[in-house]
Amino acid sequence: MKLTKEIVGGALFIVLSVAVWFLIPSQIEVITDSRINARFVPRIITLTLMAFSAINLVRAILSQRTAPDSPGSTKKMDSMRVLILFVTFVVYSLLLEFIGFEIATILAGCGMLAIIRIKKWHYYVISTVFVVLVGFLFRTFFYVQLP
């Protein structure tokens, strides 16, 4: 089996999401016994990341069986890009406490778009507007102060 960027990326993000899943209880304090609390949204996001990573990994492995010499086999630079994306997530999680949710998320989102070589400027704008909108919704309607 050849390691493609889809296989490496899927495996890395599964490992990342499992690590985040186990870190959520130690990082987010809960005052209420309700099922919907401060851990709810991070758990949903983590489960979604885990599910999509697993789907991507399975699809990549199955596609290798049908096309053994696929042109998507990884090059050294593709592997480096996946590793850089993983490091970006780690740095993002460390920066959250120091510069806050909105700034850290905008920087990480735009950085990841640049790493995967997205050239359409409106993707950067959409990413930024979405982060600001989520921050506004959480502060205004859910009364949740993001880091």
pLDDT at 74: 52
pTM, full prediction: 0.57
State the 10-residue block means of pLDDT for the chain, 147 residues long: 82 92 86 79 90 92 72 63 86 90 92 90 94 88 76
**4-29 residues labelled b (16+ CB within 10 A) or e (exposed):** bbbbbbbbbbbebbeebeeeeeeeee
First to last CA, the chain: 42
Q: If we measure between CA atoms, which residue out of 24, 47, 21 comes closest to residue 37? A: 24
Q: Report residue 60: phi and psi, to 5°.
A: -65, -40
